[in-house]
Structure 1
Amino acid sequence: MAHQSFRIAAAAAALALAPAVAAAQEQTLRAITAFPSGLAFSQSFLGFVEMVNERGEGVVQIDYAGGPETVPQNQQIDAVRRGIVDMQYGPASFYLGRMPEADAWVGSTVTAMEARENGGFEVMQQAFSDKLGVELLAHIDSGVQFHIYTLEEPPRDAEGNLDLDGLQIRSQPIYRSFFEELGATPISVNVPDVYTGLERNTFDGAGWPIVGIKDLNWDRFLRYRVDPGFFQTDLAVVVSPDSWEQLSEEARTLLTEVAAEYEKISHDNFQQIVAETDATVREEGMTVIELEGAARERFLDLAYDSAWSRMREAGTEHYDALRDAYYDR
């Protein structure tokens, strides 16, 4: 039910704001997503597609070709760069090895809308162009934080600090070093294999955004969640440079305007989904461990320092500008 809000909001915005367009040859962009179409994040991207197609009738359309079954995740950004597909939606942090600036979104404490206003988004556009060879169109679905989930109650020390010493926690590169600081042993498990691993008790927990925890049915096993959340989603919409150049000026203007509008629409929709999911998992018996006071601040400091330190150590001329724009803790 919640996923339908993306389509409804996009359609309403498109009808309310649709401009009168001059007759022109309609151009079509072929798009793919890093996630399967049924996941909440992909559903949000499809809301963006619908909004563009409503507003862009006669000018520009997006044809959704599918998820990783169409082009494998690890080949998608190069497929866009080479013009094999025109548009892609997925995490910027997939490319940390080539673009350390992705950590600015991971470690961000501001919204995508604020970053457009303060110049941060423009710096990220330059990084995407220089490091990945693609045009950054939007940072949608921002503001969704990550959490640590466990099978059993996570231990804390006498000061209330989270102590994951000895626990094996399903991880991914963006929070591996953070989990190690907490004493955990991060393990890499592909998303489709996590359910089986949890069912068999082969690891003790997982890091994951609050959105999607029920879609994947991981909440059947992960009965404890640590608050506060940390980091935020880093989901980019990128376009092939050749495809972008071949678009009419009208089409590029329309896509840019819809991208900025949809950043707010998707942010607000996900805040509602987060609240609904939080209420549901609590009602169904998930226990939320709320860190407080100095323990809470230490937890957040360790998280955000891990992202910004990683970017600084990787080396980028954009570090100072990105930290000023995206981090205000």
Structure 2
Amino acid sequence: MKDLTKSGVSRRGLLKGAAATAASFSVLGAPALAQGKRKLRYIAFINRNTVWGKPYDFLSAEVDRLSGGDLEIEYVGGSDVIGGFDAPEAIANGVFDISHSANSYFAGAMPSSISLASGNASLDELKASGAIDAYSDLLMQQRGVMLLGTPLSGVGYVFQTRGDCSDLSYYEGKKVRSIPLYDPILESLGAIPVTTSPAEAYTAMERGVVDGLGWPDIGLLDFKFYEQAKFVMMPDFYQLRTASLINPNAFNSLPEELQGVLLEASASADKIGAAWAKEKRNAEHAEMEKAGVEFVSLPDDQATKFIGLTEEKLWDNITANAPEDAARLRPLFDNA
């Protein structure tokens, strides 16, 4: 095994402490491949042939590189194996070891999970402010899982619509495919949020059930929404920061050196993922423009109002459902 330089000491200390705290959980650990070798089972919240499957490639490659093959990340499946909303519970219960998840997918058990989308700070800035450590602590307390990393970041969310959305008045009375993260925003704009799964979103557009949709500003090409919706509103809002969750006993069952490997590999994969996401977004925008999509900008005053509205609604939601978490987290995100 290669010699490693320990990185992110406070982060490692947090994770090891969380793993020790979770010793009473009834979970499955990492099975041995051969003498000295270990395996962790990985699931994604959407299938691997989409952009949401790429973090597995980044993490598994970095783990293999840094461990010299002593640790393997085995891809078990995506939504074909378990629904995205069920995956965090499966990790907590030890059915699988690691999952790639959207933060809103575990908001039921941890209302403040959506805080991970707040603001536009970089991951390094959020770590420096203490926001990531505080978030990780709450995740362990309330969800029984550890935050291994944030494998996709650096891009925002957008609304893509059938009609010209260069003015906020467009949304009045419109039906827009949504998730709980967007619902309060759309309602404030006079729109009607409609809940569908990602797989049903295109059909809803095609059949006229919705006039647009909210989506991360990456992966829009996977579902070919440009065939039905020719306008994307700018500016984008929030930050896409997905989560790698790990079962605490699976982590704690690894030898200390492999724990270090996994943490260093995850940190490296997160940086790779952030750079890749930005490049992918730019490439997708170019392809969408070729397909006739227009990226339309709000007037400056409306853009300022809109961004303020998104942050207000996010923190109002957290404050209403988890006031102590909001009081702890918001200053850390605001000051990042």
> TM-score band, normalised by the shorter chain?
0.7 to 0.9
The residue number in structure 2 matching 1:9 is none
Partner of 1:19: 2
Contact 1:44 1:266 in 2 (8 A): yes
Whole-angstrom distance in 2 between the partners of 1:58 and 1:44: 19
Query: 1:152 and 1:83 mapped to 2: Cα distance?
Result: 46
SS of 2:273 mapped into structure 1: helix
Distance in 2, matches of 1:327 and 1:175, equals 20
User: Against the structure 1 CA distance between its residues 108 and 83, is the aligned structure 2 distance closer, same or farther, given a 3 Å change threshold?
Assistant: same
% of aligned pairs identical?
23
Tell whether 2:186 aligns with 1:175.
Answer: no
Query: 2:156 aligns to what?
Result: 145
For the pair 1:281 / 2:288, whether they are aligned, the reply is yes
Q: Which runs of 5+ in 1 are unaligned?
A: 1-17
Task: Name the SS of the counterpart of 1:38 in structure 2.
Answer: coil
Partner-residue secondary structure (3-state), 2:85: helix
* Alignment counterpart, residue 55 of structure 1, candidates 48, 66, 74: 66
Which residue of structure 2 aligns with residue 327 of structure 1?
334
Where structure 2 has 5 or more consecutive residues not aligned to the other structure, the ranges are: 5-33
Indicate the residue corresponding to 1:254 in structure 2. Answer: 261
Contact 2:44–2:52 (CA under 8 A) maintained in structure 1: no
88, 93, 98: which is aligned to 2:109?
Answer: 98
Could you list the per-position Cα deviations for residues 84-120 of structure 1 after superposition, in whole angstroms to 9, with x for gaps in the alignment? 1111111121111211221211223212222122211
1:131 alignment partner, one of 142, 151, 154: 142
1:228 CA displacement: 0.2
Distance in 2, matches of 1:114 and 1:75, equals: 31
Matched residue SS, 2:154? coil
SS of corresponding position for 1:174? coil
Which AA in structure 2 matches 1:143? G
User: What is the total number of aligned residue pairs between the two structures?
Assistant: 307
Please say if residues 171 and 189 of structure 1, whose CA atoms lie closer than 8 Å, have aligned partners that are also in contact.
yes
Amino acid at match of 1:177: P
**Paired residues of 2:131 and 2:329 also in contact (CA < 8 A):** yes
Question: For residues 133-184 of structure 1, what are the alpha-carbon distances to aligned partners after superposition, in whole Å with 9 as ceiling and x for unaligned?
Answer: 011110121122111111122373xxxx444111000001101010111110
Contact 2:166 2:233 (8 Å CA) reproduced:
no
Q: Counterpart amino acid of 2:85?
A: N
1:107 alignment partner AA: S
8 Å CA contact retained: 2:42, 2:76: yes
> Is residue 302 from structure 1 mapped to residue 309 from structure 2 by the alignment?
yes
SS state of the match for residue 226, structure 1?
Answer: strand
The answer as to 2:78 corresponding to 1:67 is: yes
- Matching residue of 1:37: 48
Q: CA deviation at 1:24?
A: 6.8
Kindly state the Cα deviation for residue 127 of structure 1 after the two structures are TM-superposed: 1.1
> Which of 193, 207, 212 is matched with 1:205 structurally?
212
Q: What is the rounded CA distance, in whole Å, between the counterparts of 2:166 and 2:296 in structure 1?
A: 10
Give 1:272's match in structure 2, choosing from 269, 273, 279.
Answer: 279
Q: CA deviation at 1:58?
A: 4.2
Letter in 2 for 1:243: A
**Map of 2:248 onto structure 1:** 241
3-state SS of paired residue (1:101):
helix
Q: After superposition, give the CA deviation of every residue in 1:221-272 in whole Å (9 maximum; x if it has no partner).
A: 1101110000121311111111111111011111111222222221111111
Q: Which moved more, 1:212-221 or 1:23-32?
A: 23-32
Aligned-partner SS, 1:79: helix
Question: 2:130 & 2:56 partners in 1: Cα distance?
Answer: 24
Alpha-carbon distance in structure 2 between the residues aligned to 1:324 and 1:261: 27
- Residue in 2 aligned with 1:109? 120
Deviates more, 1:313-322 or 1:281-290: 313-322
Q: Distance in 2 between matches of 1:155 and 1:229?
A: 13
Question: What TM-score do the two structures reach when normalised by structure 2?
Answer: 0.86
Question: CA RMSD, aligned part only?
Answer: 1.9
User: 1:106 touches 1:174 (CA, 8 Å); kept in 2?
Assistant: no
SS in structure 2 opposite 1:73? Answer: coil
Aligned equivalents of 2:275, 2:136: Cα separation in 1? 23
